[in-house]
Amino acid sequence: MTTFIIRRLLLLPLIVVGVSLIIFSLFQILGPDKLLASYVNPNVFDKLTPSELDALKEKYGLNDPFVQRYGKWLWNALKGDLGWSQVGKEPVLKAIWSRFPYTLELALYALLPVVGVGIWLGVAAAVNRDKFLDHFIRIFAIVGWSFPDFVFGLLILMVFYSVLGWFPPGNLSQWAEEVVKSPEYLKVTHLLTIDALINGRLDIFWDALRHIIGPVMTLSFLWWAYLLRITRSSMLEVLSKEYVRTARAKGVAEHDVIHKHAKRNAMIPVVTVAGAMVIGLLSGTVIVEVIFNRTGIGRLAAEAAVQLDYATVLGNTLFYSTILVLGNLIIDILYAVFDPRVRLG
């Protein structure tokens, strides 16, 4: 196990470099002047003299051959200099880290209902195969998986915000934003709901919760549909195995057959799907963040792509690829937890 983890961690830099190299290559169709604008604050860029511009081009290697240019970019990235974010109006690294807590909070709140309820519905459908409950859950899954996420998100906004006025878009109400930005307000975790509890502000906690329920409902409905289908199929396959029939023949309680014998062995494909979902949530849910006007890294990436913000796109690529590799490492380790037959060494 230790050898496997070390081997995968050693592969992390290679994968990150490979992904960033592909994106870096695509942006080389832009001229040196356009690329340079991604490294400098626009307010400063307009005031630079030709000699200062040449010095900056030399610093970032924009006149060098491709390999040297990429090498200088990678070296600056390792030092934390990813350039200037035109979208975030601040350095790229700071723009990513300032928005990541909003994405992380959304992922944490969506994770429990998505994984917990999705697995529960899948197991319930498999155990009640071809009964009314199974048919109902399967119809729910088909409808949910066929529903475009942007349409469902807009429906949530229309019903629960425009009509009922319960769950508004954004991160916080204006009055709560002013309190959070005040110097007296402690920002320990940078998660709005957690920091609100730490500061003893239940009003801000409830306001942040109201703003996050809509996105969580959208994500949950869409991912439930997929996860329960995977869980149901896996459970049905395991329930047909000989050792399950043997356990029933020996008189083992049905509850123990389902939860101690079948469910654990059915979790292997579910772990893969659930792990990919978590990676996707942490990487930023672009459509949901845009629809609900949430300040997250998914929305940052979308705006950067639209505005051809070269530096921000490359910075996000590094961030996404790192999360992807670490997430897949955790998934592989969980295989051994759920199935001792898996040998990772």
Same domain assignment for residues 221 and 160? yes
Residue 85 is inside which H or E element, if any? strand 84-85
What is the pLDDT at residue 283? 67
End residue of a domain, out of 58, 90, 122: 90
Evaluate whether residue 10 is within a structural domain.
Answer: yes
What is the pLDDT at residue 205? 92
Same domain assignment for residues 136 and 227? yes
pTM for the full model?
Answer: 0.79
pLDDT classification of 73: cutoffs 50, 70, 90: confident
Q: Which tens digits make up the pLDDT trace of 79-114?
A: 888 878 888 888 888 898 988 899 888 888 888 888
Evaluate whether residue 188 is within a structural domain.
Answer: no
End residue of a domain, out of 70, 90, 110: 90
Question: Within its chain, how far is the Cα of 250 from the centroid?
Answer: 45
Same domain assignment for residues 2 and 72? yes
Same domain assignment for residues 230 and 317? yes
84 DSSP β-pair partners: 91
Going by C-alpha positions, the residue among 262, 215, 219, 220 that lies closest to residue 242 is: 262
The domain tally of the chain equals 2
Q: In this structure, what is the dihedral angle of CA atoms 110, 112, 117, 123, given to the nearest 10 degrees?
A: 130
Helical H runs in the chain? Answer: 2-26, 32-36, 42-45, 50-59, 66-78, 92-111, 118-127, 132-146, 149-157, 174-181, 192-198, 202-239, 242-249, 254-256, 263-265, 267-282, 286-291, 297-306, 310-338
Phi, then psi, of 12 in degrees rounded to 5: -55, -50
Evaluate whether residue 174 is within a structural domain.
Answer: no
What is the pLDDT at residue 304? 87
pLDDT above 80 for 281: no
What is the pLDDT at residue 263? 79
Q: Which tens digits make up the pLDDT trace of 15-52?
A: 878 877 887 787 777 777 777 777 776 666 667 777 77
Q: Which tens digits make up the pLDDT trace of 191-204?
A: 888 989 998 889 99
State whether residue 62 is helix, strand or coil: coil
Phi, then psi, of 207 in degrees rounded to 5: -65, -45
